[in-house]
Amino acid sequence: MSEASALNNHLFDADTAVTAAADGVFCASISDRWHGLGGPLGGYLIAICLRALAEVAPAPHPIVLSAFFLRPGEVGAAEVRTELVRAGRRTSTGQASLIQDDRERVRILATFTDLNRWSSGRTAVLGRPPNLPDPERCVDPLADLPSGPATIAQRVALRTAEPPGWSRGKPSGQPAGEFWIRLTDDRACDLTALALLLDAVPLAVLELGELGSTTLELTVHLRGLPADGWLLARNQTRHLIGGVHEEDVEIWDSRGALVAESRQLAILASAR
């Protein structure tokens, strides 16, 4: 089986595919299979942009990206316009704009490198992975909730030690949580899929009784290729001020390695 047809067995790869249309310009199609409550998940749009940038970046691994969400994405055709901003010896930076109906929806900047080049550098990790019972002894936090428009629940599996307060109508008041997380179709998780998973973790502010937020900007650090299997995620909001909050997410792999961190700035739906 060719690599292309193997890839196409996985929805994630099919739904983030891009095809070259002109110099640095790619066509994509936004599916309805990666919706959060408010339409296509931001992390899904980021994954499409990363697929386009991978075609123009001279290095294989995105290690840091920043996405500004300008307007909601919509199901249907999209164009991704890329620019190779700088091609360097160690790192290269590109920009991608996802456009639908002549309106820019998301703009990202991302820096690429070859992570294998850094494997010999110094390591000192003070953080620790989330400590959860094995996934088989955990529960699906979404099991008792109507899925509604959030098709992402069919694509990304979550497990928690106990049903979270927000899933039982009793928010805990503590805006933090720990989750097992993985794609449901057993596709190996690469850096592009990690960027989506970071944004598929339920918002920490659900535990404050809030129903959702609009993300202004999301920064993603991709620190290493994850080992196979379930991943461990942790989220936290520490500063909600005047309806505006940060949300931090970490993802650790099954070997206990931190593989991704994200931070977003968002506005509560209730503050609009």
Residue 123 within binding range of a second copy, rule CB under 8 A:
yes
Least distance (Å) between residue 24 CB and a second copy: 17
- Residue 236's alpha-carbon distances to 25, 56, 99, in angstroms, are 37, 34, 31
Residue 146 within binding range of a second copy, rule CB under 8 A:
no
Residue 171 within binding range of a second copy, rule CB under 8 A:
no
Least distance (Å) between residue 155 CB and a second copy: 27
Total length of the chain: 272
Q: Which stretch binds a second copy (CB under 8 A): 104-112, 132-140, 156-164, 184-192?
A: 104-112
User: How many CB atoms neighbour CB 90 within 10 A?
Assistant: 10
Residue 203 is classified by DSSP as P
Using alpha carbons only, give the angle 196, 242, 40 rounded to the nearest 5 degrees: 25
Sign of the torsion formed by the C-alpha atoms of 113, 119, 122 and 127: positive
Cα separation of the two ends of the chain: 51
Residue 247 within binding range of a second copy, rule CB under 8 A:
no
Name the 3-class secondary structure at 109.
strand
Contact flags string 37-76 toward a second copy, x per CB under 8 A: --------------------------xx-x-x-xx-----
Residues 207-246 that bind a second copy (CB under 8 A): 208, 210, 216-217, 219, 221, 223-224, 237-244, 246
Name the 3-class secondary structure at 10.
coil
Residue 131 within binding range of a second copy, rule CB under 8 A:
no
- Residue 259's alpha-carbon distances to 34, 44, 155, 227, in angstroms, are 22, 18, 20, 9
Contacts with a second copy, residue ranges (CB under 8 A): 63-64, 66, 68, 70-71, 85-86, 90-91, 93, 95, 104, 107, 109, 111, 115, 118-127, 175, 208, 210, 216-217, 219, 221, 223-224, 237-244, 246, 257-258, 261, 263, 265, 267-268, 270-272
